[in-house]
Amino acid sequence: MLTTRSRLRLVVVHVMVVSLFVTLLARLWYIQVMGGDTYQAAAQSNTVRAIELPAPRGLIVDAEGRPLVANRTSWVVTVDRDVLERLGASRRRAVLERLAATLGLSEDELARRTKTCGEEGAAKAPLCWNGSPYEPVPVAEDVSQTLAASILEQSEDYPGVTAEARKVRAYPAPMGVNAAHVLGYNSPITEAELKAAERKGDATISPLSVVGRTGLEYTYNRYLSGLSGHHEVSVDSMGRVISQGPRIEPSPGDTLVTSIDAKVQAFAESELERSIRVARQTFDPVTNRNYAADSGSVVVMDAKTGRLVAMASSPTYNSNVWVGGIDQTDLDRLYSEKADTPLLSRAMQGLFAPGSTFKPITTAAALTHGYSTSDHLDCSSSFTVGNRVFKNYESASYGPLTFAQALQLSCDTFFYRVAYANWLRQGADSGDATIKDPIVDNAKDFGFGSKTGIDLPGEVSGRIADRKWKLSYWKANKDY
């Protein structure tokens, strides 16, 4: 039997329980009815975002496994344009002013970097963002870890701005190797390239991909790229991470083993530069001044297998200028004729007269068309054809020589005689471009005028100046 005190306590408990339920119901009614719009907007502002985790590109190593191209960690500052747009004009301006001061950029320059290439007011390529306009835009690359940490630690001062560690290319340069024209360089993917990759279903390409543009980086881009991962996070309206989701790690690209031997490559580059220096200090009696020696190349191949062991070109450039985005000054220099166009590979893209290196081709043509190895021709100091006098180098004279001796001494007038006799045998008709020339035919048989098929982009085939080409060239220029 309940006492009066017990009944009073039970009534109090009932009142408290009822009050609690009434309070909860009232709060629920307020949230759903009175404050529904406010809380719905807040919920919508918290979104799940998939952050791409770029795959480290594969290494490029020489034949002995020495790394020619590797990766290192670089801190990159990015700006989420969507978050900035939601800030409002005054706050957005304040954030950009603060960020510009932190990065040591002018406000105008920072604003230009946040725009996509082609957009009005954007920086010139490659400083503008040529990726997707819906991805965070990198505005500063290769910043110090201290600067990156200050942005991350003061995230409330930098809404829409973050700093993240990414892998970028590094060039270990074993034994001082440069090999810039062989290795090539990368730059960010363009929106057009991204759309093309999506149509092809290429899973290795993503908005944050860097793409090989020249050299081995270009030829083997698909294998070097790897496969990106992703990390899901929940962010608020200011882009701040409020919770972590699933994470799939990226798969690095494949390692590319080349036929290059770093020892031979380093020696070829060193000797090329030394030879250019010596040539520039050497007097040319023909021009009465020192040789210009503005460029040159060295190619070393395995005579048994044909594999490329070394390929050097001068002038060259430092591959590191492309890491983190090349600036306009460096870009202009790479294309500058005053700097002898360092971006041009003389070994693959240079068109030069072969000079005395063509004499073995002339020899092969002669020995298969009437001459024998025992024949002797005069290596006089000069040889006259019509009103034109052709001279030996430094007007040297060695008398009658065999083909082997002429090659050994590199006698010019010996081979002028061979060519002239060939001309007379063909009828000496300069107007007939249809006559077959054994020297031209032999040159084609040796591969002149054709591409080698090397697995590097941009190779030019060269030109054999046969009768047809010479006649066409003469007609095009005779009135000038």
Domain boundaries, the chain: 49-61+68-255, 262-347, 355-477
Confidence of residue 182 (pLDDT cuts 50, 70, 90): very high
pLDDT over threshold 80, residue 313: yes
Q: Which segment of 15-19, 276-280, 316-320, 458-462 scores lowest on mean pLDDT? A: 15-19
pLDDT over threshold 70, residue 37: no
Q: Which segment of 115-124, 157-166, 368-377 scores lowest on mean pLDDT? A: 115-124
Q: What is residue 466's predicted lDDT score, i.e. its pLDDT?
A: 87
Please give the DSSP secondary-structure letter assigned to residue 456.
S
Q: What is residue 186's predicted lDDT score, i.e. its pLDDT?
A: 92
Q: What is residue 240's predicted lDDT score, i.e. its pLDDT?
A: 63
pLDDT over threshold 80, residue 89: yes
Q: Which of 380, 374, 387, 365 is nearest to 416 (CA)?
A: 380
Q: What percent of the chain is modeled with pLDDT above 70?
A: 89
pLDDT over threshold 90, residue 426: no
Strand stretches in 249-397, DSSP E: 256-257, 283-284, 289-290, 296-301, 308-314, 377-379, 382-385, 388-391
- Tell me the average pLDDT across 99-116: 90
pLDDT over threshold 70, residue 177: yes
Mean pLDDT of the chain: 87
| Pairing of β 186-188 and β 296-301 | unpaired
Q: Which segment of 4-18, 25-39, 128-142, 215-229 scores lowest on mean pLDDT? A: 25-39
Please give the DSSP secondary-structure letter assigned to residue 355.
G
Question: Which of the given ranges, 242-256, 305-319, 457-471, has the highest pLDDT on average?
Answer: 305-319
Same fold, 49-61+68-255 and 355-477: no
- CA distances to 200, 389, 409 from 204, rounded to whole Å, are 11, 63, 56
Backbone phi and psi for residue 89, each to the nearest 5 degrees, phi listed first: -60, -50
Per DSSP, the chain holds a count of helices (H) and strands (E) of 18, 18
Q: What is residue 169's predicted lDDT score, i.e. its pLDDT?
A: 94
pLDDT over threshold 90, residue 10: no
User: Long-range pairs for 455-458 at CB < 8 Å and ≥24 separation?
Assistant: 455/216, 455/219, 455/220, 456/182, 456/215, 456/216, 456/219, 456/348, 457/214, 457/215, 457/218, 457/219, 458/214, 458/345, 458/348, 458/349
Backbone phi and psi for residue 119, each to the nearest 5 degrees, phi listed first: -75, 145
| Pairing of β 60-61 and β 256-257 | parallel
Confidence of residue 185 (pLDDT cuts 50, 70, 90): very high
Backbone phi and psi for residue 5, each to the nearest 5 degrees, phi listed first: -65, -40
For the record, the structure tokens of 264 come out as 């031979």
Q: What is residue 304's predicted lDDT score, i.e. its pLDDT?
A: 94
Q: pTM of the full predicted structure?
A: 0.78
Q: What percent of the chain is modeled with pLDDT above 90?
A: 53
**H/E element holding 354?**
none
Kindly report the CATH class assigned to 49-61+68-255: alpha beta
d(CA 62, CA 262): 6
- Tell me the average pLDDT across 296-320: 96
- Tell me the average pLDDT across 102-131: 80
- Tell me the average pLDDT across 416-432: 85
Strand stretches in 108-175, DSSP E: 137-143, 161-170
How does pLDDT run across 52-76, given as a tens digit for each residue? Answer: 788 999 999 999 999 999 999 999 9
Q: What is residue 174's predicted lDDT score, i.e. its pLDDT?
A: 96
Q: Would you state the CATH architecture of domain 355-477?
A: 3-Layer(aba) Sandwich (3.40)
How does pLDDT run across 204-256, given as a tens digit for each residue? Answer: 788 778 899 999 999 999 999 988 888 777 767 655 667 777 888 899 999 99
Q: How many CA atoms lie within 13 A of 273 on its CB side?
A: 9
Looking at per-residue pLDDT, the higher value among 127 and 263 belongs to 263
